[in-house]
Structure 1
């Protein structure tokens, strides 16, 4: 519902609203915890849980969870660095 309202803003589509929500969840409870498609796909590829609540527990704090979601999204878009892939397999 909140994401749909965000897309009503001029120039903000689904992807932009999703990016905003991912970053804003650090300070806005309405968005926390948010893990969406790209981040969950990257988590699965790295043998991490592919569900929100286990990732929240794994991160250990709200700030770390938000950072983890951003990193997983980047990994989904750019591919994980070799060091990240190696560490995930240990």
Structure 2
């Protein structure tokens, strides 16, 4: 799970540098009793009016997350920018 979380952050930041234009990104990790949430938000060029076409980066993130039984949510932010949020289960790791 730790490696998947690292790779998700890595890919999301690569997507920001490739597609967001001049942008700032924030990475937030929230570790709970049942899951690890990894969220990457940027303030780049994405817009709800023009959703991105999923490419290799988003597809790879989704494959990593679903292989662990998690969920991936990706979407343009309401006021510009993009969010990628991965929820990875931790309950079987104890």
Using structure 2 for the length normalisation, give the TM-score: 0.31
Ranked by relative contact order (alpha carbons within 8 Å, sequence separation 6 or more), the top structure is 2
Instruction: From the two aligned structures, give the one with the greater helix fraction.
Output: 1
Instruction: From the two aligned structures, give the one with the greater strand fraction.
Output: 2
